[in-house]
Chain A
Amino acid sequence: MHSFGYRANALLTFAVTILALMCAMASFSDNLNHPSPSSSVQVLNVNWFQKQPNGNDEVSLTLNISADLQSLFTWNTKQVFVFLAAEYETSKNSLNQISLWDGIIASKEHAKFWTHTSNKYRFIDQGSNLRGKEFNLTLHWHVMPKTGKMFADKLVMSGYRLPKEYR
């Protein structure tokens, strides 16, 4: 009854139970945080806008992104993945989501940022629908915890209308 094996087993079981409970509580405590992030994006320039040889439209933009995501961070937050997506509808597709820029924020100190960039991923349509097309710019974020449940949310921002002609 009181052998070494039993004591070791009991200790290990207890330790794992406590650890699992602490992980669950840490994950649950994220629900108590009510973040209020803010962000704004401007399209400064259409660098070029053309039709690829295969018939798909492609556009290159210069963007000015600023955001304050500090309120997303809690003690259980490992990092926040943030990305800006262009979202629009065409006659062929009910939804097109194209990530234009993304970044990893590792700490609260870096969560208030400002960046001036051209699109990191290519903005290519499936087809030739981008002339004069209005799209929404949406900032999405994905909170990755140290342990437990992951959270995601978004902020829809002002749209932008692409020029009527290629350039």
Chain B
Amino acid sequence: MGWIGETMDSIKSLQIRQVLTQAVSLGMIVTSALIIWKALMCITGSESPVVVVLSGSMEPGFKRGDILFLHMSKDPIRAGEIVVFNVDGREIPIVHRVIKVHERQDTGEVDVLTKGDNNYGDDRLLYAHGQLWLQRHHIMGRAVGFLPYVGWVTIIMTEKPIIKYILIGALGLLVITSKD
């Protein structure tokens, strides 16, 4: 009987250790993802260094599901740059091209007008009611790099949450059941 009890104890202790290691490795994955994201935020100076294109307003340059890398520097904004901006009263940021710039002589403030390459008219219809120009504080960053298709992962996950839950469940199951 003592021999069986010993084995049971060893199995129990082994499982606790295993569970702990798995928990730690899961925590490592989550925290390293967070570290990478925050480091990108520091390097690029933009609060969201990577954005997914959601609309077709910049086609054929950027299609839905493409990924853009943003950079926010002190450099002044110039015509032709592709900027990501937030309009007051709208939650989703917009990625469009700057077509007009007016920079003040005394204060250095800028008035900016944007337009989507694939849209017929400029963006004044998208801005808040009565707003004619974007100012510096509306702009979250300018696009510097481009990666096609990768953003579809997030689009599918936000539009079909069931897939997200299945994926998370499967991954969790994998982590729990994996032996080594």
Contacts and interface: CB of A to CB of B under 8 A. Distances in A.
Q: Do A and B come from one complex?
A: yes
B61 interface: yes
B99 interface: yes
B32 interface: no
B105 A93 contact: yes
Interface in B68-110: 76, 78-82, 97, 99-105, 108
Interface stretch (A32-40, A76-84, A158-166): A76-84
A150 B117 contact: no
B127 to A, nearest CB: 16
Given A5-B178, A104-B117, A140-B80, A93 B145 contact: no
A97 interface: yes
A79 B60 contact: yes
Contact of A99 (B79, B146, B180): B79
Interface string B145-159: 111100000000000
Contacts of A104: 60-61, 117
A92 interface: yes
A98 B81 CA distance: 13
A150 B145 contact: yes
B48 to A, nearest CB: 18
A5 B148 CA distance: 28
B146 A92 contact: no
A7 interface: no
Contacts of A111: none
A95 B101 contact: yes
A73 to B, nearest CB: 15
Q: Which of A93, A96, A104 has the most CB atoms of chain B within a 10 A radius of its CB? A: A93
Interface string B44-79: 000000000000000011100000000000001011
Contacts, number: 87
A142 B80 contact: yes
A91 interface: yes
Interface residues of B, number: 30
Contacts of A116: none
Interface size class of A (residues with CB under 8 A): 35 or more
B123 interface: no
A96 B101 contact: yes
A14 B124 CA distance: 47
B11 interface: no
A83 B81 CA distance: 11
B174 A144 contact: no
A113 interface: no
Given A5-B174, A93-B105, A149 B145 contact: yes
Contacts of A106: 60
B99 A96 contact: no
B146 A148 contact: yes
Contact of A150 (B100, B143, B148, B174): B143
9 nearest interchain CB pairs?
A99-B99, A97-B79, A97-B101, A95-B103, A140-B80, A94-B105, A144-B61, A93-B102, A126-B102
Interface of B: 60-62, 76, 78-82, 97, 99-105, 108, 111, 117, 122, 143-148, 174, 178, 180
Interface of A: 1, 5, 23, 27, 78-79, 81, 83, 85, 90-99, 102, 104, 106, 121, 126, 140, 142, 144-150, 152, 154
